[in-house]
Structure 1
């Protein structure tokens, strides 16, 4: 039970603006005991999605702090271009390092629909964790 809580917590924190490697923890936990791989993957996916939704809500708060002109420049430009072009579908890439956090922040900032955004984030992150677990189980 402790490892499930640890996986959820690490995945949540890794999806916020804090750095973290929840995939490494997943592989380590699978290496220790692979019998509950599905529970680990589900909790990692849900925890990571909740972390991204936290970033989404931080983005809604930032709506008042920055103008659209400021957001269209600098480090936000690439993520903003993805969301402008693909809308909430761009959140399938929320699992990617660096740009994934920005996508979630900007989704909140642009007030994309929460339910659809959450679903796209969950799908992308679940696919990633299933792939990591599948590769880890194959090589263990």
Structure 2
């Protein structure tokens, strides 16, 4: 498999139920080939966003079996409060560890609109990977 498809699938899995360090994978690929940063940024962002949208879809389906009373954990109630207060804008934080996955799941559970929710996830995740690339691989060596 080529690095872009591995990056995409690794980022996808990291955003779903499987824990994973997509940043570690991105770091490895960038270390080996820093000039590929644009493609890797796109692959990581799209993969992670589609993984988050999978969580959104699971939340939508889960609404049929999970009542509000079952959403009692602290991280769930915090995420639920953010989504109820800020709506799909809270999904800009979908990149956060642990709570980001819950935000995506609950966005589906709350039936937030799919298109703006997906867009907020994409923006948040792209910014996260962009900042990561800038911090660790910024500078002229990426353009070589």
Q: Which residue of 1 aligns with 2:133?
A: 133
Q: Which residue of 2 aligns with 1:116?
A: 116
Detail structure 1 runs of 4+ shifted over 6 Å in the superposition: none
Q: How far did 1:93 drift?
A: 0.4
Residues 91 and 124 in structure 1, CA contact (< 8 A), matched pair in contact too = yes
Q: Which residue of 2 aligns with 1:57?
A: 57
Q: Which residue of 2 aligns with 1:17?
A: 17
Q: Which residue of 1 aligns with 2:84?
A: 84
TM-score of the aligned structures, taking structure 1 as reference length: 0.95
Work out the CA distance in 2 between the residues paired with 1:5 and 1:136.
22
Residues 11 and 45 in structure 1, CA contact (< 8 A), matched pair in contact too = yes
Q: How far did 1:70 drift?
A: 2.3
Work out the CA distance in 2 between the residues paired with 1:67 and 1:4.
40
TM-score of the aligned structures, taking structure 2 as reference length: 0.92
Would you say how many aligned residue pairs link Structure 1 and Structure 2? 139
Work out the CA distance in 2 between the residues paired with 1:138 and 1:62.
41
